[in-house]
Amino acid sequence: MSMDLQPYLETALDAAYLAKGIHQYYQEKGFTQSSKSTPTDLVTQADRESETAIRELIASRFPGQGVLGEEEGQQGEGEFRWIVDPLDGTVNYAHGFPFYAVSIALEVRAQLELGVILDTARSELFTATRGGGAYMNGRPLQVSRQDTLLGSLLATGFPYDVNKDAENLTYFQRALAKGLTVRRPGAAALDLAYVAAGRLEGFWEVKLNAWDVAAGWLLVQEAGGQVTGIQGEPYQLESRYLVASNRLIHAQLLDTIHGR
Ligand code: IPD
Ligand code: CA
Ligand code: CA
């Protein structure tokens, strides 16, 4: 499909910087917070106000387009769907641990066309358009060329109900048992952006949502990496179980987490 993405990209960038202002404002001023699905699943004033501001900006530029956001769900329908995580890494944010971001993607007729992830503590901006490459602060990104797992830096994440469903502990343990280096940074969108940037060779997680993944998925693809489901099948936004890598270690990473 050929369409002029520029107005959409500009809107995604403006929306991301609006969220950055809100993240920073509440980091300095202090914020209220409450829990959602579990006591550790937090939502703060910054999450809610960022999503509201992003929705208002999109509605003012493109009235009626669909928006799926973490805090307010799906609103509107049609060929265009914005997919928004207003603050990915909320637990980090709530503790002042500076690894969190806003993630905004645009899907047109069920195909991802652009993704923007802004690390609002570090001011690192990750952008990708389908077929147009991936960039960090305007510089082209490429995944790492490392081809061994022992030479790789890997990351994973755990769902908020990890105490009830420890599936990923098995994968994690298998990776550690091979002596691999695995981090748990706490913001899936940035984890994916870091795979695109070559800072991580691989990342996997279970029970992610579309807003955690949409922009990062496009970034990894556009930087030359690979994203699949947990068994190596083609990834879909609804898959929830994801493995992302620089492509070179993908099969080895799948073998490792499945104990092969
Ligand atoms: C969470 C983060 C975390 C991941 C969780 C997500 P939130 O998103 O991305 O790294 O492990 O699965 O839910 O709640 O901070 O937007
Ligand atoms: Ca998230
Ligand atoms: Ca969030």
- Reading the chain (260 residues) residue by residue, the pLDDT tens digits are 568 999 999 999 999 999 999 999 999 999 899 999 999 888 999 999 999 999 999 999 999 999 999 999 999 999 999 999 999 999 999 999 999 999 999 999 999 999 999 999 999 999 999 999 999 999 999 999 999 999 999 999 999 888 887 899 999 999 999 999 999 999 999 999 999 999 999 999 999 999 999 999 999 999 999 999 999 999 999 999 999 999 999 999 999 999 99
Class of domain 6-140: alpha beta
Tell me: the pLDDT tens digits for 100-148?
999 999 999 999 999 999 999 999 999 999 999 999 999 999 999 999 9
* Interval between CA 103 and ligand 3 midpoint (Å): 9
CA 158 to ligand 1: nearest atom: 11
Task: Return d(Cα 129, Cα 203) in angstroms, integer.
Answer: 21
Rg (CA), the chain: 17
List, chain by chain if needed, residues with CB within 6 Å of any ligand 1 atom: 70, 85, 88-90, 157-159, 186-188, 205, 208, 212
CA 88 to ligand 1: nearest atom: 16
What are the tokens at 48? 């809610």
C-beta separation of 67 from 61 below 8 A: no
Q: Say how many residues make up the chain.
A: 260
Class of domain 153-257: alpha beta
What are the tokens at 139? 């510089």
C-beta separation of 226 from 205 below 8 A: no
Q: Atom 5, ligand 1: which residue's CA is nearest?
A: 159
* Interval between CA 12 and ligand 1 midpoint (Å): 21
Q: Is the pTM of the predicted complex or chain greater than 0.85?
A: yes
Domain ranges of the chain: 6-140, 153-257
Burial class of residue 97 (count of CB atoms within 10 Å of its CB; 0-12, 13-18, 19+) = middle
